Structure 1
Amino acid sequence: MELRKNQQLEKLEKRVQDGNYYEAQQMYKTINSRYMAAKKYAESIDLLQSGAVMQLKHGQVTCGTELGVLLIDTYNTAKVPCDTISIDRIRAIFNEFPRASNFSQEKVDIAADSKATEKTITAKTHVEGCMAFLKAALKWSIEAGGPHRGAPELHDMLADYVWTQSPVPEMYKASQYFVRGSHPETFAKAVVQWMHQCYPGEADLVVARAVLLYLSLGNLRDANLLWDAVKQSLSDSSKEFPDTPLMHFIRFLLSTLERDALPLFRILRQKYKPSIDRDPTFDEYMDEIGERFYGLQRRNGGMQGMLSDFIKMFATDS
């Protein structure tokens, strides 16, 4: 039986190698339907992982994404737990999504082009496919016993691909995943890159937004790690860290949240109101931070902006 299964996979892989992508895709789906009907979930998982990897190796992102999502559907049907083995299968597929070398350095040139180039369209297709696959995986991880925000490893994968492969900077989109992942130092590298790509005079807004996102989730540790890593990175490259009232506020806020200092929190918010008001979302972040760290009741009404969307991300995206 094992020999027959291996021979079957070899035939399918040969069709892909010969360029018969659509024919192979239909065969993968037909065989998978038979496995699912017979409740042969292990065979289905092996087939779909192999097929997704093979299609992606040959640049067939639409086909690879479809098989990857079918793999997640099988995880759900078979009630596969969120563990190292199941995550590693997802990672094996993720690793085969196409990557443009030095793409992050080319973002500015591509964005400046008034006409949508073929390269831009291709890159957007790749990002959309990878996001569709990993978002399905995130939803499965939540329902399969993983963390309530989804497996951090999957957030790390999403953040990495959106950051490095999007044809134009996707700061907010990538940040959603960075802050739910487990690598604040990598997030800091993205923040430094975005500081160089933003409008003049807004580099401090990029840093503040990243720190406040962590704090809005109650994650003071990673907020501090990111803050220190950004400062260190700029120092190593002989670049100056922004010396603005907003950066002074963030530094004082990080220190204040280390202790039970609600009066100081309120004083900081009042004193640095002009800096906080530079971005309409910052006031909403501060409401969330006050609730998480000091139990303050959130104010009714007000703007339902990006933070609300961020907090509700899994109610919509997943």
Structure 2
Amino acid sequence: MVKVICEDGVRHWRMVLEGFEGNGEECSHRNVVEEEYLRRKWLTTRLFLERRSVSWSIEFGAHRNGSPEIHDMIADYIYSESPEVDMAKVSYHFVRGKDPKKFALTLVNFMGKCYPGEDDLAVARAVLMYLSLGNLRDANVLMDEMKKQVQFREIDFPRSELMQLINYLLKTLQRDALPLFNMLRQRYKSSIDREPMFHELFDEVANKFYGVQRKNSMPGMFGDFFKMMSGE
């Protein structure tokens, strides 16, 4: 059933693209700026993929959050085709997929393109998103695969206090160690402060692994994003 849904989604997705391409000449006659045309084309395709394909897989599939195969497909498409890559959105779909090794390759590729200081944020966000879903296994697979890939490509893995925190966190969550978890949050608060979303993710990790009641979500884009991620 999932295969049928995926094939149907891809077929409709291609029709959307072809429709935009067919209107390209008309747009040029109307003096529409090329960048705006490409932006609208991308946004429409992305909205279709996210809403239509995932909703189909939720309705007909066995997974509450939608088909992992479709999430992997959307993540790959957003990363490869988006004019401006939104790694938070890419991560949102990959952590709902089932291919952490592919996610690791994507992150390593992103590390070679991003601005200085964005690489460790992207890695930490990915790991914390896995953990916020209670998925310690794939969080470890992601980190292990990334370290293999950077060694193979002879590039540097991010080194920062944030990466130290992530490494300690993965080890801490393997045992019943809530006091140590809280100590890490306090010790590395300045690193966590680098991205507001991290505080909410840590709250959810504490809830998933130690039963700590989650605090009220933060207002604004990060709170809304986390609500969408947690399925509320």
Normalised by the length of structure 2, the TM-score is 0.82
The 1:273–1:254 alpha-carbon spacing in structure 2 relative to 1, beyond 3 Å, is same
Structure-2 residue corresponding to 1:309: 225
Q: What CA distance in whole angstroms lies between the structure 2 residues aligned with 1:258 and 1:117?
A: 53
CA separation of 1:132 and 1:315: change in aligned 2, threshold 3 A: farther
Alignment of 1:221 onto 2:134: no
- 2:200 corresponds in structure 1 to 284
SS in 2 for 1:160: helix
The alignment-based identity, stated in percent, is 43
Change over 3 Å in CA distance of 1:260–1:117 after alignment to 2: farther
Partner of 2:154: 238
Does residue 190 of structure 1 match 2:109?
A: no
Partner of 2:72: 156
Confirm or deny: 8 A CA contact 1:123 1:165 kept in the other structure.
Answer: no
CA distance change for structure 1 residues 302 and 127 in 2, over 3 Å: closer, same or farther? closer
Partner Cα separation in structure 1 for residue 175 and residue 185 of structure 2: 16
Is 2:62 the partner of 1:146? Answer: yes
Matching residue of 2:29: none
The counterpart of 2:178, out of the listed 252, 255, 262, is 262
Which structure would you say has the larger Rg?
1
Aligned to 2:214: 298
Corresponding letter in the other structure for 2:4: I
Tell me how far 1:128 sits from its aligned partner: 2.5
Which aligned runs of 4 or more in structure 1 are off by greater than 6 angstroms?
Answer: 95-98
Mean alpha-carbon deviation: is it higher for 303-312 or for 171-180? Answer: 303-312
Structure 1 regions of 5+ residues with no counterpart?
Answer: 1-81, 99-115
Task: Note if contact 1:124-1:167 (Cα within 8 Å) is conserved in structure 2.
Answer: no
CA distance in 1, matches of 2:117, 2:231: 35
Paired amino acid for 2:6 = I
Residue range with higher mean Cα deviation, 83-92 or 191-200: 83-92
> In 2, Cα distance between the equivalents of 1:202 and 1:130?
24
Taking structure 1 as the reference length, the TM-score comes to 0.61
Task: Give yes or no for contact 1:159–1:174 (8 Å, CA) kept in 2.
Answer: yes
* 1:163-218 CA-partner distances (Å, limit 9, x unpaired): 10111222122222111111111211221222233322332111111111111111
1:85 partner letter: V
Q: Tell me how far apart the structure 2 counterparts of residues 91 and 235 of structure 1 sit (CA, whole Å).
A: 35
Partner of 2:117: 201
Q: CA 1:84 to 1:231, structure 2 compared with 1: closer, same or farther past 3 Å?
A: same
What whole-Å deviation, never above 9, does each CA across 1:17-47 have from its counterpart, x for those lacking one? xxxxxxxxxxxxxxxxxxxxxxxxxxxxxxx
**Structure 1 CA distance for aligned equivalents of residues 144 and 49 of structure 2:** 33
Question: Residue 238 and residue 97 in structure 1: after superposition, are their counterparts in 2 closer, same or farther (change >3 A)?
Answer: farther
- How many Å separate the matches in 1 of 2:59 and 2:66? 9
Aligned partner of 1:85 in structure 2 is: 4
8 Å CA contact retained: 1:156, 1:183: yes
